[in-house]
Every structure is written in C-alpha cells, then in structure tokens.
Structure 1
C-alpha cells in the first residue's frame, strides 16, 4: 500500500504540522538579519536598533546602562522593551537583548526556546526580535591558559568546553549539565551567561570562582569587569570569560533534573581550600531557588572554617535555609529536601575534588 505523503513510516499516520497561519507568522518573525564583520560593527548596529526602538516607543534608552523604554520595567538592571526578558546568543548593549527589537544571535538555542511559536504559544510576530545580529562568526572561540587564568571565548560551544583538555573537572561537569548533546553542539558560553536563567549551567561555578568578563562596548577599548557586577548591569557584547588561577582551591559542581536529558531544576557550585575535612574560604552559589543563581552567605557561614560533618547532618543543617515555591516541578517541601541533599553532596565532593590549576 502506498504511504500517504507526510505520513509517519512507522505508524502510517500523517505527521503533525503547524497550522498554516502559524507557519506564515513564523516566517515573518524576523524582519531583518545582519552579519557584522567585527565586534565594533555589531555594537554599532545594536546601538542603532535600541535608539530606533526608543524613538518609536515614546521613551529614551541608554547604551551601556540601565533604562526603561516606553515605561517598561527593568530586569536585573537591564534595559527592556515591553517588559521583555533576556534572549539571544551572546550579550547585550544596555542590558538584555530585547524581544520586539534587536537580539544577538550566536548559537541561537536560548533565542529559539524563547521565540519559537511552538514554545511561545499564541504570541504574534510583534513579540519577537525584528532584527537579528549574527555575532556567531566574530566571537572569540576556544580555551586558552594565560597569566590571567583560563580564558574562554564567548563563542565557544558547550561541547567544545567539555572536550577541551584545559577544562578541569568542575568546569566539565557544568558543561555536561546541559545534558542534550545536540544543544551542547550549538549553545555558547556567552549566551548561557547572558541569558542568566535561574539554573544557567555555567553561572554558579563562574560566580563561585570570581570570574571576570571582557566586553566590547561603545568605546575604543574593551572593558573587563567581574562577572557578578556585569550580571547585575549587563552592558556591551560579551567577548571572553576569564576564570582566575586556582590558587590552591578546589571546586565542585552538582545538579538535579527531572529526567536525564532535562534542564536542571537546581544547580550548586562550591569552591574552597580544603585541609583534611575542613573547608576554608568557602564560596557557595546555588541556582534554582531564586530568579538567578545566588551566592549563599548564610549556608557558607555554617561550614566555612569548620570540619564538615557527615552527609545527613550537613543536609539537616542546610534544609531550613532553603525556600521554594510549589509548581509543576514539585512541592516546596520536596524542593527543599532535594536542594539540601544537592548542596550537601556538593560540599562532600569538595573534600576529594582536584586542586584547580
């Protein structure tokens, strides 16, 4: 029997297709696509796009600072349009790349998950970037050991980090937390940092290591500043991530997810100098219990400079300090229990973790 056109070869049923109207909307989502020749041109294009958007929105935007456009609220100090959150594959000028305006495009995985009609539901073309600035070919790529530390180009993919001989164990674990190989082949280091989701794969470890970022802005010289500061007030096109030398410290990373190939529901990164069972100068960052990954000074105070107890006692001490909401991923009580176990596991892993280069 002849198979119908578009039929599933295993079931003989027609393949599901998006409605014609939605397919037409998808084709109109992006009105303009440009591929700049260098970072300076990319920055200029984003500046022009933000200025144009501000003029048509009845507001004023700032480049390299926090602002609201057309009365929109700001998210994490980043200028937004229409209340839009961060999207894109690299970084931003004046904060988050905006929905309905312009967006950087590198790997495109975060942009696709935010802007795809199949994911975004009933949004219209007006809700998505009108201009995509493709920076994928101009961003630095690869890992290099320098006097300043380990420098990772913003255009480096997660799979490249995972396979690099320069990547230490905790960094490999962070890259591996993006469990889907297809996504790791496209997703970039810069995009993951810029998107700054609650469970962003690289952000906890980078914050725990006191990482810095190098950005191209509107000036003639690139700017280097602490990642923690940049995440509060993003500005410029992110070019490089700089992980400082280990200085005798050890690092560990842990994650939890609903399924093996799912996004993380909680992430933990811990860095400390280990003396026997004692953790000195502990830095602990937890993702999944707030809008963005945060350093937990309250949990650090329980263990810094002290011998680490057994796993059960460590978990019991952490649990009261965690809070979460009830949602489709689980109840608040379950998340506190799961999170406390994850933090305890990460601290215990520090005792046998490799010393950072």
Structure 2
C-alpha cells in the first residue's frame, strides 16, 4: 500500500511540475558524465600503476594498484575543473557565436596556467610525500618534464571531453535540421493533397453546371456521386496510404461521373492486378484521368476515346492513359496544376518512379511507373 501511495505521489509530482522532465534530462547527463570520469579514472590508474611500478618493487601489486588509484583520484581534480570550465565557458561561447577571440584565448591560457600550477602542487605536496610516502623521487614544482606531463595529461582528458561535447552538439543540430526538413516536407505534401481537392471540385462543378444548363435528368445522380467522392476525399484520403482497390474505385466513380456529360466518348479501362490490397498514396492517379477529360473529351467536337490500363505485379505499378485531342500540333508539354502536383508528390513519396508524357498530333498519353515498395515515409 505504501509503495502504491509513493508511486501515485511521484506521478502527481511529474504532472504538477512541467519542468520536471528537465530534471530527468539533467540526471541523464550526470550519469553519462559520471561514466566518462569513472572510465578515465580507471584508465589513469592503470597508467599510474605501470609508471610507478619500477620504483615500488618491494610493495605487493595490490597495494601498488591502490596507491595508484589514490594518486589518480587526487590528480583528477584539477583536470576535472579545467575540463568543465572549457566545456561551459569558451566552448559554449564559441557555439553560440558570442566570442571575442583575443579575450577567449587569454581566458583559456590563464585557466591552463592555473590548472598546471594546481596539478603540479598536488603531485609535489600531496601525492609524492603523502600517498607514496617519499618512495618516489621528489622533483621541483616547475621542472620541464613535470610541466610537459601536466600539459599532456590535462590536454588529453579535456580534449576528449570537448570532442565528445562538439560531436553531441553536431548530432543534435543535424537531428534538428532533419526534423525541420521533415516538417517542411510534410507541410508541403499536405498542401499538395489539399490543392488536389479544390482542383477536382472545380472540374466536377463545371460538369454539374453543364448538366444543369441542359436540364439533364442525370444532374441529381451526378450530385449524389459527387457527394460520395467528396466524403472519400475529406476522410479516407487523409491517410498516408490507401489500397490500390480504393484508388481504382475512385477512378471508377469519377469516370462514371464524367461519362454522363459526354455522348460520343468511348472509355476503355483495363486492369491487371495481382494484389489489390497493395498500398498507394491517395489520389495519385486521379489528376491524370481528370486531365484526360478536361483537355481531351471536353475539347473534342467529334468522337473521342480515353484508354486506361493499370498493371500491378509484385509491387510494381504501371499506369497508362491516352486520350484524343483536337488540333494537330505536337508542341512542348507544359504541366498544369494537376500534373505539377503529381510530379512533386512522386518526388516526395517514392524513390523509384518514372513519369513520361507524350503530346502527339491527335493523342496525348501518359505512362507512369511506380515501385510501390519504394515508398519513403516523409
């Protein structure tokens, strides 16, 4: 019962204080730093043990190791102080860009000199006479060899710590940049999908307007089919992926909607699907069908046709559509809103795809190949 009560109070403390996750982050950093210094202390102990072993031949190895550990523990104090000074003063200033080069260099040099003095004082006045009890040769406070060893010892541990700090900052910056790029691409993809909806609605309303002017008996049915399509667009198309069967059903509904408007139009829709549950980005094929009706059948005064074929084998989708068109020019193809939209969606979502457009004198055709298994989560 007491355990449950403590757990409840702990959870309430989490919920009551929004800043508590910062405490968790701080504790995590403390553990990592503690692990770093523990590993370094063990490494420094081994080096100290090897370094002083020749001078302590008559002392058992376990006692030598314990003395080396105490010496390493005493020597780590100035190294620890300088390392954290370097991490949280000059390095932080450099990372933030708030740095005056001369002043920063002067600060670091002064800190190094002070650290070397403390380091040498610990060795001369504590480690040699107290820990090793005078068994080691006593050297002056500022001899050349001692100072060089101090510089290398302090420089090694502080250099490793600073390198790890800069590496962590770089990884954090890269992760932040990656998240920003991901958010940008997700926003762009949502915009492209939302742009498809009014484009489709605009074309369909034109059809309803044409039927209403003719006072066609199919007007009510068109409105009903439109409501079903809009329901799909508003709800189901918000998913990142839908089944190929659902995508083809949208094409069927749209074609049925458009066929009511044209009398001299022949439509062939051929399918060869091995797995209708294969996933595809929603409303990816619809703009091509819209384009075939808008720039083909609606602009043709004579008999016209639209031929569509969809083949899906082992995750490889091949979509072909061609439509008749008026005029005998083969001018350069210029993407309209729908085609530009689809191109950009393909770039964002699939690593393997190929889109080819052909503008012949009487026929406009599109060939789209997509490896649906190469879908890249934005």
Task: Identify the TM-score tier after normalising by the shorter chain.
Answer: under 0.3
Select the structure that is richer in helix: 2
Relative contact order, higher structure (CA 8 A, sep 6+): 1
Select the structure that is richer in strand: 1
